[in-house]
Structure 1
């Protein structure tokens, strides 16, 4: 498991609370400032706005805090880092999950599955090179290299 995604009404207040409580350091990313390229999606995803979304990720890999206008506070998703998003999409789709979005942010690839498939929790797959998700999201240039291994290769 890579990150637990949690919606907060106020990103700065959420970062402060989680930092104080768990002694974590966060980096705030404004999605509008990043290079986001949607690759595909099978069904509409009301929980994935295209803008007005701000994200903070902690450097230890535990929490992703998300500020989204109009979204209810609470758990949003669970992220797994995989060697190959395509292989993992095929495996989870074969197990009955429905892909809603597949996109690239900088040099990070992400796939999101429908929350209706897992009791309101979205499963997200992340593929990126290097130790830092935020650095991969901010990076310009070619996409991450495709690895081998799907769900069995989840870290």
Structure 2
């Protein structure tokens, strides 16, 4: 009844987030089912982007787009894989670069690499829920960004 009275048809959208959906043993089987049975539904994915070529191929064929959350706290090998996957997925995925205060300039390098490879990205401040909380700053949960650092946030 809702669709009957709409001026435009409602878009049907499925979004898979939380934890890492790609590690669930039935995730891709379910995506394949949804793609076949509900071809008009979009199938979005939020992922950490750390996976090999087998999973990458499934993501390319079974999702319609999504977000990769880039975290600098990973190992060098993991981070290289995530950047490589982001470049391959750039037509359908954007990257949220999580600017951890201890890895700020590394995150800048990541953004420059993504930009050079035409990957859409969003620099994200993290760990700064209470920017004026002295205790939070003292404990290292909150970071005060300087003027040069603030230029990276859109």
Same fold (TM > 0.5): no
Structure with the greater alpha carbon radius of gyration = 2
User: Larger helix proportion, structure 1 or 2?
Assistant: 2
TM-score scaled by length of structure 1: 0.30
Higher relative contact order (CA 8 A, sep 6+): 1
User: Larger strand proportion, structure 1 or 2?
Assistant: 1
TM-score scaled by length of structure 2: 0.30
